[in-house]
Chains A and B, each alone.
Chain A
Amino acid sequence: MSQVKRIVIAAVCAALCIVLPMAFHSIPNAGATWLPMHIPVMISGLVAGPVAGAVTGLLGPVLSGLLTGMPAAPMLPPMTCELFTYGLVSGLLSRFVRTGSVTRDLYVALIGAMLAGRVVNGVLRALIFSPGAYSLEAWVAASFVTSLVGIVLQLAVVVPIVVSLERAGLVPPRYPEKDA
């Protein structure tokens, strides 16, 4: 995939980071529950690599905050770091994990990124953004309980979307020798 295409995919996914929350925010508390901004970031990382994923993770929340006011300013720095990690780690794992099965590769990368992003978010909140006012219980509640529906949605949606993109010929196949 060319560098221009990687950047354009990253940018389009960042645009979806702005568009999807606007659709989801018509439902009360949907942002924290359905995590709509996470999905484009992970897809960008899985499809276009770690740099594109990281770019989407940076641009999505920052431009969304600037243009629509969501996420609100106090939530923006930790969320940007979390999404940056999602994009970077999903791209890195997608590049290096080769189990021989597309679905297995993608799930390993996706779950690895989901865990890494949450750990980075928790560490940054505890040490930098809310020092002394952030507990392990608060992290578990915010990362795994409140967002359980969003986690299930990500697990159900991200891999089928990436596979659909491969089948549609819009992104290069992971195992071209199998398709040949």
Chain B
Amino acid sequence: MRGVSGYVWADSPLHRMGAGAKLAGLVACVALVVLASSPLELLLVCALVAALVALSRVGWRSAARSAWGLRWFLLAVLVMNAFFFGAEDPVISVGPAHLTVAGAAQGVRVVVRTLLVVVLGTLLTATTRPQELIDGVRALLRPLARVGFPAEAAALAVGVTVQFVPTLLRESRQLMRAQTIRCGTVVSHAIMRRAVSYMRLLVPIFVSAIRRADELSVAMEARGYRLPPSRRAADGGEREMHA
């Protein structure tokens, strides 16, 4: 969960940059990652991301933490591509699986692209506080409000989502721990018992989450928060009062 609550304190050009600019930069960098297909192009994008990590001063370990969490998934992607991408000129064949150079190259391409996107996302959250991120989303969406897009509602939704993740995660873990104490670990159960365990777990998680949503919306409305109607939003109308 380091991505959400994992703002890394540092004084770097990336920390000082506006969140809107960082979000736009993230979109541009992800587009570069997707468009890079040859090894040289991928290498250049890797160099760019490495330069951004160095520039951010968050540390290589912090930048790579989310990617490290995906290591088994990425290994599976690499192996699946290497063995099942094609059957032409196999290096080794084992039953229906054929290890090919083209398959291995495709696997490496997919893994490198995924790693780059994950590191870029981690960099954004490590150098931007949640509130700055919300303001950045609002600033980026503001031009769309001129054509009737509900920018304020979208910014509110992103903000509430990001701010609720740590709370709900803590609450879910508490409920899971309580269930483990009562019934043993869910993973060890047979599939039907596991399904029943998840049912018992999910109902309180949802009821608690929606109760929080209800309380928050009541509190916001009681303080006079109103979403601007679309025509006012199109005129650049600001929300009436900050929640």
Contacts and interface: CB of A to CB of B under 8 A. Distances in A.
Interface of A: 2-5, 7-16, 18-20, 22-23, 26-27, 34, 39-40, 43, 47, 55, 59, 63, 65-70, 72-74, 149, 152-153, 156-157, 160-161, 164-165, 168, 170-171
B202 interface: yes
Interface in B81-110: 110
A5 B217 contact: yes
Interface of B: 1, 3-4, 30, 33, 66-67, 69-70, 73-74, 77, 110, 113-114, 117-118, 121-122, 124-125, 153-154, 156-162, 164-165, 168-169, 172-173, 176, 186-187, 191, 195, 198-199, 202-203, 205-207, 209-214, 216-218, 220-221, 225-227
B169 A19 contact: yes
Given A69-B118, A157-B198, A9 B210 contact: yes
7 tightest Cβ-Cβ pairs between the two chains A and B: A11-B160, A5-B217, A15-B164, A67-B3, A12-B213, A73-B117, A69-B118
B160 A164 contact: no
Contacts of A157: 198-199, 202-203
Nearest to A163: B203
A2 B219 CA distance: 13
B121 A16 contact: no
Given A149-B191, A153-B195, A12 B212 contact: yes
Contacts, number: 164
B160 A15 contact: yes
Contacts of A43: 206
B161 A11 contact: yes
Given A67-B121, A67-B125, A55 B207 contact: no
A165 B191 CA distance: 27
B207 A164 contact: yes
Contacts of B33: 73
B210 A170 contact: yes
Given A11-B160, A16-B206, A161-B206, A170 B214 contact: yes
Contacts of A73: 30, 33, 113-114, 117-118
Contacts of B156: 4, 7-8, 11
Nearest to B77: A72
